[in-house]
């Protein structure tokens, strides 16, 4: 009852989250344009206000992650992002111009991610491509689910992206690919960061190619694991069922395998994978360390010299 009342309280804000995202991205892009035009002070004030609005955006999506998707990791991160964004805006307003690069990165991330999330033609192509590759791997492993159009999710209804497993007793277990399952969010993060830093185009392209290739492969593997684990009910042990139903709020105990495979194992490993990919990309494009240092300062209030700590000096001379 409490959860429902909290979710209802957020409903008006959640209803405008997509529009709010576009406003935030447009404002960050404006700040970038002002920076490149040499109007850094105005850019700093625009970016400062936009970070506050970005905090409101994260607040608007928090109930979706927490109450609807029951994702502890994404829900917690979205809630933590609210004060982090507001603090970033304050630091920019107070004169920390180095945070403009991070602002440029967020704007670029949005330009990559939002079309995939909000433009139906782009979204369908991406979702069905990932679904087809996921299905190919599942069948190559010896499993034989059906690949059918989605019939219950408005955002992807009719897309050929749903896997239907059937057990010996005739019970069916279905999962389907949505935009979040394509890896576009992680790709947008690296794409935005790489676009924002000053470095030779060749190295930036190589770093982006490395990040996208790894994310794509790991994401397909993640989708395969979730579909097969749920389709074959791998995690239906009593203790895990108890956690899913009593603590995670799932009313159907048969969803335990999905909860453990997706919300617990896959999302936890995704965090580890992002750290590993970041390390690999930084080796190719050490200029990213400056942006990461700024993000760490916002989170901890401590100045870091990651280049020295990692023994990886930034190639400020623009070397190839």
Which whole-number Å values give the CA distances from 62 to 9, 74, 85, 266, in the listed order? 12, 8, 14, 20
Q: Per-residue pLDDT tens, the chain, 320 aa: give them.
A: 444 556 566 677 767 888 999 999 999 999 999 999 999 999 999 999 999 999 999 999 988 888 877 778 888 999 999 999 999 999 999 999 999 999 999 999 999 999 888 899 999 999 999 999 999 999 999 999 999 999 988 789 999 999 999 998 889 999 999 999 999 999 999 999 999 999 999 999 999 999 999 999 999 999 999 999 999 999 999 999 999 999 888 899 999 999 999 999 999 999 999 999 999 999 999 999 999 999 999 989 888 888 776 666 554 444 44
Please, is 210 exposed, middle or buried when counting C-beta atoms within 10 Å of its C-beta (0-12, 13-18, 19+)?
Answer: middle
Q: Rounded to the nearest 10 degrees, what angle do helices 201-231 and 120-140 cross at?
A: 60
Residue ranges of alpha helices (H) inside the chain are 2-14, 17-36, 40-63, 72-93, 99-118, 120-140, 184-196, 201-231, 238-242, 256-258, 267-284, 288-300, 306-310
Structure token digits, residue 172: 């069916």
Angle made by CA atoms 210, 282, 306, in degrees to the nearest 5 = 165
Give the separation between CA 234 and CA 266, rounded to whole angstroms: 14
pLDDT digits (tens, 9 = 90+) for 275-287: 999 999 999 999 9
Q: Which residues are tagged catalytic? A: 181, 222
Give the separation between CA 309 and CA 307, rounded to whole angstroms: 6
Identify the bridge partners of residue 176 per DSSP, sorted by sequence position: 162
The phi and psi torsions of 312 (rounded to 5 degrees) equal -130, 85
pLDDT digits (tens, 9 = 90+) for 142-176: 999 999 999 988 789 999 999 999 998 889 999 99
The phi and psi torsions of 37 (rounded to 5 degrees) equal -85, 0
């Amino acid at each position: 009852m409490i959860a429902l009342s909290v979710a209802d309280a957020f409903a008006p804000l959640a209803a405008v989250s997509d529009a709010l995202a576009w406003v935030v991205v447009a404002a960050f892009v404006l700040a970038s344009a002002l920076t490149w035009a040499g109007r850094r002070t105005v850019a700093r004030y625009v970016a400062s206000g936009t970070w506050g609005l970005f905090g409101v955006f994260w607040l608007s999506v928090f109930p979706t992650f927490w109450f609807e998707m029951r994702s502890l990791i994404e829900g917690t991160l979205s809630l933590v992002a609210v004060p982090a964004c507001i603090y970033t805006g304050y630091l920019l307003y107070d004169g920390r111009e180095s945070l403009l690069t991070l602002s440029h990165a967020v704007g670029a991330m949005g330009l990559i991610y939002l079309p995939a999330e909000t433009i139906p033609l782009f979204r369908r192509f991406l979702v069905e491509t990932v679904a087809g590759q996921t299905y190919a791997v599942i069948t190559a492993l010896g499993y034989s689910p059906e690949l059918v159009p989605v019939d219950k999710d408005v955002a992807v209804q009719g897309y050929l992206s749903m896997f239907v497993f059937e057990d010996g007793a005739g019970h069916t277990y279905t999962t389907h690919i949505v935009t979040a399952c394509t890896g576009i969010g992680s790709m947008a993060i690296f794409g935005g960061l790489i676009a924002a830093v000053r470095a030779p185009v060749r190295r930036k392209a190589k770093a982006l190619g490395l990040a996208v290739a790894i994310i794509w492969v790991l994401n397909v593997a993640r989708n395969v694991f979730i579909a097969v684990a749920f389709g074959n009910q791998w995690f239906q042990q009593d203790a895990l069922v108890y956690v899913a139903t009593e603590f995670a709020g799932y009313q159907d105990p048969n969803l335990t395998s999905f909860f453990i495979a997706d919300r617990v194992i896959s999302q936890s490993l995704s965090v580890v994978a992002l750290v590993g990919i970041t390390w690999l990309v930084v080796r190719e494009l050490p200029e990213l360390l400056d942006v990461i240092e700024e993000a760490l300062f916002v989170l901890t209030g401590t100045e870091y010299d990651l280049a020295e700590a990692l023994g990886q000096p930034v190639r400020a001379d623009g070397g190839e």
